[in-house]
Copies of this chain bind each other. A is one copy, B any other.
Amino acid sequence: VSTSPLRIAMIGHAFMGAAHSHAWRTVGRVFELDRPIDLRLLCGRDPVATAASAARLGWAEHGTDWRQAVERDDIDVVDICTPVGSHADIAVAALAAGKHVLCEKPLGLDLAAAQRMATAAERAQAAGTLNLLGHNYRRVPALARLRDLVEGGELGTVRHLRIAYLQDWGADAEVPMSWRFRAADGGSGALADLGSHIVDLTHFLTGRRLTTVSALRRTFVTDRPDPDGGPRVPVDVDDAVWWTAELDGGAVASFEVSRVATGRRNGLELEIFGDRGSAAFDLQRLNELDVGGTADAAARRRVLVTEPTDPYLAAWWPPGHVLGWDHTFVHQARDFVAAIADGVPPSPGFADGLAIQQVLTAVGRSADTGRREVVG
């Protein structure tokens, strides 16, 4: 077993950069890793802000040139936390340079970018260079356990599920214009931002892919105040999208994403119905799973997922000592480090991200045509 440090270069240092830094700093102190973690290099565009972030977040070096960074000999892993528009260029370059790549979701700005990334990832993987897409919710212990329940047949054959990601920050028409409301920067709005998460979770939890989709979408707030005081600016992305889908194998799923869901700060809610049982989850109570079923039809079991036998929990605290949102990034880092140690590709990879992007593209198409559209 190598004991040389695993050296990380992180590109980007905003919200996600802080969460990933927390993860890299913490993972080796909680989980048994084969190698220590070295927070080697932080890259950002603004030299002053990047230097301050590096000092604050605990990175040894900092710089502004990501192209140089991804080619340095003393870097093993490139962690991409930049806005989605730059994912493809950075990831392709890093993979070409033989660096393992962790990329924040969604994969790319459009289908072409995602395709390019998946191709590069496939090629690199053949050479032993790994890729991971940052859908951290797979690493919520309750959701990892739910996947195990499904896979282990405890719910029986999955027949239908529903999954919604609801936020409220766009509800007020006076929230000013920003990149998240512009297609050129933020992709397709709630669909790309939130929809990618719930499609990934559907793939993860059921092991099935969406084959057809029927969609509706809406932009409720069609223009927003110019933050610089000019006239109101048109919004060209969606606020909310709904779709139903057929999954391979015969199940049906319904999806809902919204940025205008008043009363929901950050509400990722889902329920899966199998022929023997069902299970529900709510991100705002992320240590819990709510399980029902035919064997005890009048009862629902509210499970506190903090036992040492639950996924990731043995490394943390005794039962009843709950985890939070940021722990999921520590788990993600742990899984990536373990994958690198074992040489086994982790999930979800860029190929999974491409499949998600194909779904989201079909959803957009269906919203336009009013027809059930085939994915891919």
Q: Check A301–B296 contact: CB distance below 8 A.
A: yes
CA distance A19 to B29 in the complex (A): 11
Contact A298–B293 (Cβ < 8 Å): no
A323, B320: Cβ atoms under 8 Å? no
Kindly state whether residue A317 has any CB partner on chain B within 8 Å.
Answer: yes
Query: Who on chain B is nearest to A251 by CB?
Result: B218
CB contacts (< 8 Å) of A285 on chain B: these are 285
Stretch at the interface among A78-86, A160-168, A229-237: A160-168
- B171 pairs with A320, CB closer than 8 A: no
Chain B neighbourhood of A372, CB < 8 A:
214, 216, 370-371
Chain B residues within 8 Å of A56, by CB: 29
Kindly report which residue of chain B lies nearest to residue A276, judged by CB atoms. Answer: B262
CA gap between A283 and B263 in the complex, in Å: 20
Shortest distance in angstroms between A168's beta carbon and chain B's nearest beta carbon? 6
Q: Is A178 engaged at the interface, CB distance under 8 Å to the other chain?
A: no
Query: How close is A121's CB to chain B, nearest CB, in angstroms?
Result: 29
**What is the CB-to-nearest-CB distance from A59 to chain B, in angstroms, rounded to a whole number?**
10
Interface set, chain A 50-64, CB cutoff 8 A to B: 56-58
Interface centre among A29, A265, A284 (most CB of B within 10 A): A265
Chain B residues with Cβ below 8 Å from A264 are: 278, 292, 320
Interface stretch, picked from A87-95, A196-204, A240-248, A338-346, is A240-248
Q: How far is the CB of A283 from chain B (nearest CB, A)?
A: 8
* Total contacting residues, chain A, CB less than 8 A: 89
A residues 317-364 touching B (CB-CB < 8 Å) = 317-327
Query: Quick one: given A167-B320, A240-B159, are A294 and B15 in contact (CB under 8 Å)?
Result: no
Report chain B residues within 8 Å CB of A171: 275, 294
Contacts of A164 in B (CB 8 A): 162
User: With A29-B21, A216-B252 as given contacts, are A278 and B306 in contact (CB-CB < 8 Å)?
Assistant: no
A218 in contact with B160 given A294-B168, A320-B266 (CB within 8 Å) = yes
- In angstroms, how far is the closest chain B Cβ from the Cβ of A289? 9
Binding site for B on A (CB under 8 A): 15, 19, 21-22, 25-26, 29-30, 56-58, 155-156, 159-160, 162, 164, 167-168, 171-173, 212, 214-216, 218, 220, 240, 242-244, 246, 250, 252, 254, 256, 258, 260-267, 273-279, 283-287, 291-294, 296-307, 316-327, 370-372
In the A-B complex, the 10 residue pairs with the closest CB atoms: A263-B292, A266-B320, A265-B320, A324-B324, A370-B372, A263-B278, A321-B325, A323-B324, A299-B303, A265-B319
Known A-B contacts: A172-B294, A263-B293, A298-B305. Give 10 more (CB < 8 A). A25-B29, A159-B218, A162-B164, A263-B300, A265-B297, A265-B306, A286-B322, A323-B326, A324-B327, A370-B372
